[in-house]
Amino acid sequence: MRFTRLLLLVVAAAAIAGISVPAAGALTFPDDLCPVMSGTVIKICPEGFTGKSYSLQMRGRDGTGCVPYVTFRTDGTLPGGLSMSSSGLISGTPTQVGEWTFWVIMQDIPASDGGIAWCADNRATERQFSITIGEGLNIVQRQSKLTPGQLTVPYNLQFTATGGGSPTWKISAGALPAGLTLSSAGLLSGTPTAAGDYGFKITTSDSARSDSQTYSMSVVPKLQIAASAGVGEIGFPFHLAPQATGGKPAYAWSVAAGSALPAGLTLDPATGAVSGTPTAAGTSTVKLAVTDSVGLTGTVDVPITVAARLLATKKPLSTAKVGSSYRTFLKATGGVTPRRWTILGGRPGLLPKGLKLNARTGQISGTPRQAGTFRLRVQVTDKLHAHSTIGVVLKVTA
């Protein structure tokens, strides 16, 4: 009666003003919104799938004059991941498989809240709906950038999907790098033959569902590292410069996990140079890693030997005799071979006539032809130009 009296007043006022008033019918849901299935009064809405966006707009039946001026709410539980706005939009991404039945209430908006007078009698209607959520077909590899390919290097990536039995796979847009193919089982494989940046869309589908993902992929020359073995000496400056080629510069260098540089040495992450002053002798194999700008990583094992400090051994030389064959050796420890021996001077600064020094072995040999005491300064120098000097005394008897 409240609505009828209000409507008569509105119609009368409109007639005096010469304005036509649309007819207001009862609020109800249209028949084509989630049709009623045979044997039930529940309106069955379109099926959704987990992991796939869902959208359904609730609405009133046209012709009542009040349809644009209504609000919606639910009584009951929507599928997990979905919600309904006051405008009647059910949306979201379902997270659970199952069937949900709930009520939707549609109600006039009061004139004070933006409705119109002949609809503002606070009328409401409700109807029961049902949404079934099935398991969606979803590609597991969602990353937009794939691992880069390298020229002449075989490439293999198996795409997989959840929610499907045995879906088929295809390239639905763009093109794969030359040399690569995608099998119907989802295996991306081959050997890239052309460098460049590529973009493509992969789609997987079964009899009822599908999923797509767009990817980018770079193909670059093979990433390689060249590095020779390093040899150092305690207390002596060390430098080793590995070189990276291929991939896509710039490069970032590191010492691989589980590996360590010898004490006293450090790595320059920008150039890969290993430098410093070793503090402990020993031999180790260091695994160096380099990563390029597209994420490719290469490693190389670099043997590094650190020798003890070069030290000439000071010991008395055996006595020689004029006219008799003589042989003795100067000794040294540590350093890096080969070594080289030289006589720096002393008094008289030369070996006695008939004897000579082998610079490579440190052997003094020959048949002395003069007697005397010979005080000499001798020096040993190694491959790294480290040196050690000692004084020696050689006596030659008559």
Q: Which DSSP string corresponds to 256-313?
A: PTT--PPTTEEE-TTT--EEE---S-EEEEEEEEEE-TTS-EEEEEEEEEEEPPPEEE
Structure tokens at 25: 């019918």
User: Does 176 lie in the same domain as 285?
Assistant: no
User: Does pTM top 0.85 for this prediction?
Assistant: no
Q: What is the pLDDT of residue 38?
A: 79
Question: Distance between CA atoms of 21 and 259, rounded to whole angstroms?
Answer: 86
Strands 320-321 and 387-397: parallel
∠ CA 327-331-332, rounded to 5°? 160
Contacts of 33 (CB under 8 A, 6+ apart): 43, 58, 59
How many structural domains compose the chain?
4
Q: What is the pLDDT of residue 350?
A: 87
Which of 134, 152, 185 corresponds to the end of one domain?
Answer: 134
Residues 198 and 265 in one domain: no
| Alpha-carbon separation of residue 293 from 142, 168, 222, 247, 290 (angstroms) | 21, 33, 13, 8, 10
- Six token digits for residue 144: 């937009």
Shared domain for 83 and 99, answered yes or no, is yes
Between the CA atoms of 161, 162, 166 and 170, what dihedral angle is there, to the nearest 10 degrees? -30
Tell me: do 319 and 298 sit in the same domain: no
**pLDDT less than 70: residues of the chain:** 1-26, 63-67, 111-122, 346-348
Do both 109 and 6 map to the same domain? yes
What is the number of helices (H) and of strands (E) in the chain? Answer: 1, 35
In order, the DSSP letters of 77-137 are -PPTTEEE-TTSEEEE---S-EEEEEEEEEEEPPGGGT--GGG-S--EEEEEEEEEEEPP-
Are 110 and 182 contained in the same domain? Answer: no
Confidence at residue 345, expressed as pLDDT on a 0 to 100 scale: 79
Q: Do 265 and 355 lie in a common domain? A: no
Verify that 210 and 230 share a domain, yes or no.
Answer: no
- What pLDDT does residue 23 have? 40
Per-residue model confidence (pLDDT) at position 111: 61
Same structural domain, 6 and 88: yes
pLDDT score, position 24: 43
Domain that holds residue 29: 2-134
Q: Give residue 124's pLDDT.
A: 84
**Are 34 and 88 part of one and the same domain?**
yes
Final residue in a domain of this structure, among 200, 220, 240: 220
Last residue of a domain, one of 69, 99, 134: 134
Q: What is the DSSP letter of 145?
A: B
Task: State whether 56 and 89 are in the same domain.
Answer: yes
Residue 348 is given by DSSP the state B
Do 292 and 330 belong to one domain?
no
Instruction: Identify the CATH number of the domain in which residue 187 sits.
Output: 2.60.40.10
